[in-house]
Structure 1
Amino acid sequence: MELAAKVDALMDGLRDDLERLAAIPSVAFPGFPAEPVGEAYDLLVRLLGEAGVEHIERIDLPGTAPVIFGEIPPPSPDAPTVLLYSHYDVQPPGDEKLWLSPPFVPTPVEGGLRARGIADDKSNVIAHLGMLRAYEGRPPVGVKIVFEGQEEYGSPFDDYPRTDPERFACDAMVIADLGNLRPGTPTLTTGLRGACEVVVEVRTLEEPRHSGEFGGAAPDALLVLLKALSTLHDVHGDVAVAGLRREEWTGTTYTEEEFRELAGVREGVPLIGSGSLGERLWSGPAITVIGLDAPSVEHAASAVVPYARAKLNLRFHPRQDAREAQDRLVEHLRSLRPFGIPLTVTPGDTGPGYEATTGGSAYRAARTALREAWGEEASYVATGGSIPLVNGLAQAAPRAEVLLFGAQDSMCNLHAPNERVLFSELRNTVVAMCAFVREYAAGFRAEGAS
């Protein structure tokens, strides 16, 4: 049977299993019950076994939900091994009043289903299962399966894989924790911006002082902080911190109309920064003030503010070293003396970016596979979000090609109310994964024979 027809014959069962999985509130955050996470784990172990995975292990790491590890040996000595990653835990639903239907009641929408976690990342879990079913548990490659149970809250895969490299050894890996730029546009994500945090604070007075009696000479800590923060961007809104890498983006990106709708930009409000959206979002830096300690307007007193603090989030170029990027921001802030007053600057957490090497046989196979599934050439994009586990897995298998694609799309409302997945994207992702392992096995053997 033709590959696409075989997948089409499986889709009813895959949809049913996606609904069963999405109905389980497998939130691994503190304060949420652990039983649903265990229920999702048990369901997936059963589904993997039914799909022909005979070797399944439970990995228990300190302070985290269990990881499912499955393995199918290569069918021949000259066949490659592919690691398949996705996660079965989900984000909390947030304010349920903003949902059009209960978040853990999978509900039909036009062309798909709505539920928390149905796109991120349970659709991709099901896509992996679909590939295994299409090959009746005997794919043309060796397979290692990693279904993580706590990716959304403190993933152990940021660090753990490098401590157990033999387990994660492979020739290529498909990390399915994202998807297409837009529905119907096959997309390979080749870059992830890194992230770090910095806290800057100002203390000028022992306590508040009457603004009428002291204002004008007594140093206002909030004014000092605001003057410092205003130096982080130029008049166009571009980051003005020296040493942060920025390059032209040559891949595909959003139209401005798509981005405005996705970001919820109010009518008449311009976007900030200059250059292409890809450059602003993916191959250049971004600094966001994510927290501010200052008197609230509602409880404001007529007093000079003695203390103010801000927390900054920096996103930086995929190839820039995380510590270097953070150091550039810290140095910029420490060099300032707004009104002659020094700032206290404290560096926080860092997470590296990632840029894939795209010239190998796995990428050639993936481009062919995505073209077969969607009927058009794959686009290359990056993402401004960080997925540190990519580096963790890549460090465990440094020679493996890393591919990032899946059944989500950027309009699926992941982490937001009314998250949804489209059946067309799920179906095409299963076809693409099936075609990928077929093409990769053939190309790998051909390279080995040459």
Structure 2
Amino acid sequence: MTNSDQLKRDVAELMPDVLARLEDLVRIPSIAFPGFDPAPVHEMGAAVVDLFAAAGVAGVKLLDVPDGYPCVYADIPGPDGSPTVLLYAHYDVQPAPESQNWTSEPFEPTTKDDGRIYGRGAADDKSGLVIHYGTLKMLGDELPCSLKILVEGEEETISHLEAFVEANPELFHADAYVIADIGPQRVGRPGLTTALRGDVACTITVRTLANPVHSGMFGGAAPDALTAMIRILDTLHDENGDTSIPGVDSSRWEGADMDEEVYREGSSILPGVDFLGTGSLSDRIWAKPSVTVLGMDLPNTAEASNVLLPEVTAKLSMRIVPGSDGDGQLEALMAHLRAQRPWNCEVEVAKVKVGHAFAVDASHPAVVAAEAALEEAYGAPVENIGSGASIPLVASLKKVSPDAAILLWGAEDTAQSRIHASDESVDPAEIERMITAQTLFIRNVASVGTR
């Protein structure tokens, strides 16, 4: 029996404990969005401290993050002169409103007939927390390298952690960062994410009238703010559905192909509905920009009355291509919006956030070692894939340690996890494989060298 065979047996024996801890974490509704009860978020932070203490980590603690929720932190020394690996995940989750129509209670973990565990955060990103827990249990007291733990409490909303990390670089310096907040295309197919689209966001407010007026008496000459907003938003895409904004970058994907069957399953596109855009499917979701209207301040249909609206505000998010400048891309979007003034309406555009895009240096020795660990754990070739997701902290970590490797992996498979949506779930087998892969990587990282 090889060392990896024994490791797989040990991980399998640990899995009942791992899954029980995951279920306990899912029960805590740690929604860090403004307007939600902060108590469960603080409860979750304390639970994460307890989780890693149970894994044998001495000195794990909460660090206050100015203006935000605390992060969980630990610094675990290894052999003198050994490299340092930082393990990252986040403990906050997306809301689970009734309008999403869950088929089970979102904060009561439910194992269904397919063997997956359903619940808000089961995949994103409490699976990452228990992957780290299982890894630490497998490593035990004899660490081959130094480890740090960083768990964020507001990744899903406007984070304050980036500024805190950049202001305290000595706490977060590492030779490799392991970001367990993503996953493969499909269960059983190992994936290493080598590029992230960034996420920039803004609001646009359109004003046409001083106050609401009767649509019958004044409609036809007085402009309605919603109609003006619709005309503005229509300029963001061309006739093919491609995002088409002057100054916004586009590119092509050179890695593994996006599996169309996986994409259709994961995206829940209705039968007969066409894909947006042009180019390969991989280009469209990993290497081209994509702008989305996230929300709009409007009367709902039950409350709608016969009036022209004087003012409408929309929030927009744009995914930007790896290698592009986030600040410049947001400014291009905002400049385009400001220039759209149907009927000389008033237009006000305001910045919300910039989440920078990122591309991995696939030649870094630690990244090569990670691929080898994945292949050994899964028994299958590794796919280098992209992601439309954004993890803003990555840019800050690269500022702290410019030469460090960034490893983006986890248990959140594209096909079925449905993160941020109803019936979010995770496959326990993916957690098990990722504990094995991450343990193999850390055991071997001391021998691969850093630069």
1:120 alignment partner, SS class = coil
Superposed, 1:44-443 pairs within 5 Å as 44-77=48-81, 79-95=82-98, 98-109=101-112, 110-206=114-210, 218-219=222-223, 221-292=225-296, 307-336=311-340, 338=342, 341=344, 344-351=347-354, 352-410=356-414, 411-443=416-448
For the pair shown, which has the larger CA radius of gyration, 1 or 2?
1
Show the counterpart of 2:29.
25
Identify if the C-alpha distance between structure 1 residues 233 and 418 changes in structure 2 by more than 3 Å, giving closer, same or farther. closer
Cα distance per residue 1:215-255 (max 9 Å; x no partner)? 66555554444333332221111122122111111223433
Q: Whole-Å Cα distance in 2 between the matches of residues 220 and 34 of structure 1? A: 39
Deviation at 1:206, TM superposition (A): 4.9
Identify if the C-alpha distance between structure 1 residues 265 and 133 changes in structure 2 by more than 3 Å, giving closer, same or farther. same
Deviation at 1:34, TM superposition (A): 4.8
Q: Whole-Å Cα distance in 1 between the matches of residues 20 and 298 of structure 2? A: 51
Unaligned runs of 5+ in 2: none
Deviation at 1:425, TM superposition (A): 0.1
1:408 alignment partner, SS class = coil
2:277 alignment partner, SS class = coil
- Paired AA for residue 415 in structure 1: H
Count of residues in correspondence between the two structures:
444
TM-score normalised over the length of structure 2: 0.88
Identify if the C-alpha distance between structure 1 residues 308 and 17 changes in structure 2 by more than 3 Å, giving closer, same or farther. closer
Cα distance per residue 1:393-439 (max 9 Å; x no partner)? 22222221111111221221222232221111011000110111123
Deviation at 1:116, TM superposition (A): 2.2
1:13 maps onto 2:17 in alignment: yes
Deviation at 1:175, TM superposition (A): 1.0
Identify if the C-alpha distance between structure 1 residues 211 and 322 changes in structure 2 by more than 3 Å, giving closer, same or farther. same
Residues 330, 345 of structure 1: 8 Å contact kept: no
User: What's the RMSD between the two structures over aligned residues?
Assistant: 2.9
1:331 alignment partner, SS class = helix
Unaligned runs of 5+ in 1: none
Deviation at 1:347, TM superposition (A): 3.1
Alignment identity in percent?
A: 39
- Paired AA for residue 360 in structure 1: H
- Paired AA for residue 414 in structure 1: I
Deviation at 1:82, TM superposition (A): 0.1
Deviation at 1:17, TM superposition (A): 2.3
- Paired AA for residue 349 in structure 1: V
Identify if the C-alpha distance between structure 1 residues 133 and 293 changes in structure 2 by more than 3 Å, giving closer, same or farther. closer
Cα distance per residue 1:133-168 (max 9 Å; x no partner)? 112132211100112233334332222101110110
Cα distance per residue 1:36-59 (max 9 Å; x no partner)? 444444444344234332232321
Q: Whole-Å Cα distance in 1 between the matches of residues 100 and 210 of structure 2? A: 44
2:75 alignment partner, SS class = strand
